Structure 1
Amino acid sequence: MKNTILQLENITVGYGNKKIISSINTCISENEFIAILGKNGAGKSTLINTILGYQNELEGDIFLHQQSLKKLSKKEIAQNIAIVLPRLNNVPKIKVSELIEIGLVGQQTEFNKKEKEDFIIHILDLVGIQHLKNNYATEISEGQLQLVMIARALAQNTKLIILDEPTSNLDIANQYKIFNLLHELKSKTSQSFLMISHEADLALNYTDKIWWIENGLLFEDIPEQIAYEKQIIPKLSDQNLMFNSDENRYSTSTNNTLSINVKGNSELAYWVKNGFVRNGFIIKNNSKITIEITENNIIFGEKIFVNIQEIITFIQQQYEKYNHNGS
């Protein structure tokens, strides 16, 4: 059985007399990667600030390693929980290795010079940024800097690392890199990660659990169960994305009567479907117009198309004719 790092018992968070999330009963165990999802204003940051001891809970108690946060100083909390923010307001002009070394300051373990160097190299290896060791923090990319900040948090050697939207300012490649990194790290270390995120698709693919906040309550479960029961994709997209059983995916809802059947399970088929949906078509298995997709070709009747735009344009021009006679 996994050890519990953080326990929330009957917690209510908010400001003054205003309750934002009530009756929270949950925990974080070792080797877990959890994402906090919810609409803007749901209370994600308020919850994190309460866990970090920045503000007091309105009701209930939080236990860190079975000790009440109320009995711990801010220094003691910081020695047990590391935090990664969306970005540094002021990036110091120091080397990456020196920035990571700052994470060692709060540690209770004493290092000699050789042990410190070896530990920093170990952290750099874990995050995969050995090549940045001697680079200055002011001279690396935003994505690289965020990896360095994760490395600095790891260097604090805490059981729990909280990340406040660490991918919000990054391109999609770096978003994937960070989610994948955290997924791997929780298996390689005994540390756990609690992340606020707006990247619901990545959170659903990489995390062990989702904390979903809605209407002043927190719900938790594995990603698939939460996504299904709470319909989080339609809700986060303001009902713009709905599940389409014919396409077997979430897509934009449309009242358009144009329909088409796309047969095939290849990557090309995926993008052909996407192109037709984007142009106002509904993907339907019983449509009178059927396109077959092989690995590299798009086949309609006796015609072969190798370009997605060509088949979309052709169907748009010929739709009425083929829709009426079923050819």
Structure 2
Amino acid sequence: MSLLSCHQLDVGYRHSRTEKRLFNALSLQLRPAALTCFMGPNGAGKSTLMRTLAGLHPPLAGHVQYQGRQLEGSTAPEAIALVLTERVTTTHMTAREFVGFGRYPYLKWHLRLSTEDHELIEQSLARVQVQDLANRSIAELSDGQMQMVMIARALAQHTPILLLDEPTAHLDLNNRVEIMNLLRRLAHEENKSILVATHELDLALQTADEIWLASDQHMLVGIPEDLVLDGAFDRVFQLKGFDLRTGKIMHHDWRAKPVHVQGEGFALLWTRNAFEREGFTLSAEAPTAVRVAQQGASLQWHCGGHQFPTIRELVIHLTQSK
């Protein structure tokens, strides 16, 4: 059974006598022991839905359930950990102290952290590899570092459900991949239900067990492969050149110049990528042939009797030639 679900949920805002509806009659179940990625166009209401599911924003209609019962405010902190994108305003504390706030729902009347609490805090810092930031003031942290510390706080809360709004924002590529892989491992190895709102299409396609795709106040739900083959991503994002073979957005062949690229291994892959990005058409029948070859410890690119030490010089040569 799903730990978190919603039934006929209308999501939005009320301002005096007016109502702005973002989602209409949603009935969803967050898969147990799975990483679900929540995607949609800008302005679709992803953050508002996340807050509604966490019990921080009242629905216009319908209800959210935890373990089959309506979610109550007193239950939410021990059931759901939420990571939002808002910048933290309180800065007079260390990163370790900030992560410690994840333990507050469990504190007794004396508000003292136990040995177990301290162990969970250290484990959470280690999981996102920010132990070296533990004693630094959060005022000194970059946006990316603060994002990692906020995720550590959510892990310290030790809930069965994690809701994260753009957790990879402000992170470099390596950390984006690492965070998504970490969340996937937590879902599978610790049976957590994890929902991640993200714009990272490539990472979502690679890591998500299921995808929620916001579309016209409703939600399309499925595994990534089913939604790709159904054309759902194309319809929602109006993607131009979405390649079903690779899951990538292909660049328009604006140069309309065909090239046949030959070679082996990673060098061939990245050479083809460069030509596609530069607007060339890849074709085995093209009159212009490029061959990439390993020569000792270096690579060489051959074309029309010329030899080039880098892809850059080869591309410049072909773009300047008639």
Q: Indicate whether the TM-score tops 0.5.
A: yes
- Residue 105 of structure 2 aligns to a residue whose secondary structure is coil
- Aligned letter for 2:57? Q
Is 1:103 the counterpart of 2:102? The answer is yes
Deviations 1:32-67 (A, max 9, x none): 111111111222123223212233333433211111
C-alpha distance in 2 between matches for 1:84 and 1:145? 11
CA shift, 1:180, in A, is 2.2
TM-score normalized with structure 2 length: 0.85
Distance verdict in 2 for CA 1:265–1:81, change over 3 Å: farther
Is 1:77 the counterpart of 2:80? The answer is no
Equivalent in the alignment of 2:117: 116
Does the aligned pair in 1 maintain the 2:107–2:113 contact within 8 Å?
Answer: no
TM-score normalized with structure 1 length: 0.83
Query: For 2:301, which of 298, 301, 305 is the aligned residue?
Result: 298
Equivalent in the alignment of 1:268: 267
Distance verdict in 2 for CA 1:54–1:87, change over 3 Å: closer
Deviations 1:198-252 (A, max 9, x none): 111111112211100112220111122223323426853x53443287x995312
Does the aligned pair in 2 maintain the 1:234–1:240 contact within 8 Å?
Answer: no
CA shift, 1:108, in A, is 6.4
Does the aligned pair in 2 maintain the 1:290–1:300 contact within 8 Å?
Answer: yes
- Residue 174 of structure 1 aligns to a residue whose secondary structure is helix
Percent sequence identity is 28
Equivalent in the alignment of 1:138: 139
Equivalent in the alignment of 2:27: 25
C-alpha distance in 2 between matches for 1:306 and 1:66? 64
Equivalent in the alignment of 2:5: 7
C-alpha distance in 1 between matches for 2:184 and 2:100? 24
Equivalent in the alignment of 1:314: 317
Is 1:228 the counterpart of 2:229? The answer is yes
Does the aligned pair in 2 maintain the 1:9–1:25 contact within 8 Å?
Answer: yes
- Aligned letter for 1:92? T
C-alpha distance in 2 between matches for 1:119 and 1:264? 51
Equivalent in the alignment of 1:66: 68
Equivalent in the alignment of 2:160: 159
C-alpha distance in 2 between matches for 1:95 and 1:60? 40
- Aligned letter for 1:242? F
CA shift, 1:153, in A, is 0.9
Distance verdict in 2 for CA 1:251–1:169, change over 3 Å: same
Moved more, 190-199 or 131-140: 131-140
Does the aligned pair in 2 maintain the 1:84–1:153 contact within 8 Å?
Answer: yes
C-alpha distance in 2 between matches for 1:137 and 1:78? 23
Distance verdict in 2 for CA 1:264–1:250, change over 3 Å: farther
RMSD of aligned alpha carbons: 2.8
